[in-house]
Amino acid sequence: MNIKDNISLDNIPKHVAIIMDGNGRWAKKVGALRAFGHKNGVNTVRTTVEACVELGIKNLTLYAFSTENWNRPKLEINALMQLLVSSLEKEIDELDKQGVFINTIGEMDKLPGNCSKALSRAKAQTKNNTQLTLTLALSYSGRWDLTNAIQSIAEKVSEGALSPQEIDQEIIQEHLSTAHLHEPELLIRTSGEMRISNFLLWEIAYSEIYVTETLWPDFSKEEFFKAIIDYQNRERRFGKTSEQINP
């Protein structure tokens, strides 16, 4: 029996977010340079997108480059940025065909010109697609996003467009770069690290967290399906008791 057959189609998460980690360790394992790990990580992006399309998951958000990743060696940063451009060029038509809309969160203006241009082209080409929104978090961090949101809210307050009493969770949510996205029901991290690394801090308040030891380049479609099954077997209580959830 195919592992996919164990997935209940009436409980598919609307939004899955992934911290794609372990490319460097994967490269080390095969005796290659870190950039080779990143290159192989692109294959996993492709199969994960396919898996989402197959299951009807509407939103996939991938942590591709954090604010803190700017502190890596320049050579690695350049390799990652180049890989982003070449992968977009190579994959965009297929993604478009699958109905994928490419979206980004993060500081686009910090990316090299050819990267932001390739991303703008990809967004424009796929803007009418509705099968899956693939959000790439690039030069993104949760604290960066919250800081921006607080700044824009403060500006509105100082202009008199908003009173401090009106600031509620909905207003905060609306000012985040993920305003248009449903909160992720499931957050996956590969490579076994038990941390959030400044990813979607506000949005994951009630996300189910799934950590696998598998390194990102080895993370297969079957493993993705396994994560979905694991999620479907959780009892999401949102502070209530189990008895309240299952009377």
Q: How far apart are CA 216 and CA 22, in angstroms?
A: 5
Cβ distance 136 to 122 under 8 Å?
A: no
Smallest distance from ligand IPE to CB 105, Å: 12
Binding to Mg ion (CB under 5 A): which residues in 11-40? Answer: 21
Q: Please answer whether residues 238 and 206 qualify as being in contact, where contact means their C-beta atoms are separated by less than 8 angstroms.
A: yes
Residue with tokens 């297969």: 220
Closest CA to 38 of 49, 26, 50: 26
Closest approach, Cβ 56 to ligand IPE, in A, equals 25
Assess whether 69 carries a catalytic annotation. Answer: yes
Q: Which is nearer to ligand IPE, 7 or 19 (CB)?
A: 19
Does residue number 65 form part of the binding site for ligand IPE (CB under 6 A)? yes
Q: Which residue is nearest to ligand IPE (CB)?
A: 24
Q: Is 10 part of the annotated catalytic residue set?
A: no
Does position 107 interact with ligand IPE (CB under 6 A)? The reply is no
Residue among 143, 195, 236, 237 that touches ligand IPE (CB under 6 A): 195
Cβ neighbours of residue 100 closer than 8 Å, sequence gap 6 or more: 49, 53, 126, 129, 131, 132, 133, 134
7 three-class SS = coil
- Total residues interacting with ligand IPE, rule: CB under 6 A: 17
Tell me how crowded residue 1 is: count the other CB atoms within 10 A of its CB. Answer: 5
Map tokens 């192989």 to a residue.
40
E-strand spans in 85-178?
Answer: 100-105, 132-140
Closer CB to ligand IPE, 7 or 64, in the complex: 64
Nearer Cβ to ligand IPE, position 44 or 98? 44
Tell me which of ligand IPE, Mg ion, none is bound by residue 69, counting a contact when its beta carbon lies within the kind-specific cut-off of 5 to 8 angstroms: ligand IPE
> Pattern 13-52, binding to ligand IPE, x per CB under 6 A?
------xxxxxxx---------------------------
Identify which of 45, 62, 53 has the alpha carbon closest to the alpha carbon of residue 4. 53
By the rule CB under 5 A, 189 interacts with Mg ion:
no
In angstroms, the Cα distances linking 65 to 47, 83, 193, 235 are: 19, 12, 16, 32
Binding mask 114-153 for ligand IPE (x = CB under 6 A): ----------------------------------------
208 touches Mg ion (CB under 5 A): no
Residue among 130, 137, 148 nearest 204 (CA) = 137
Out of 7, 16, 63, 208, name the contact with ligand IPE by CB under 6 A.
Answer: 63
Amino acid at 170: E
> Which parts of this chain interact with ligand IPE (CB under 6 A)?
19-25, 63-66, 69, 80, 191, 193, 195, 197
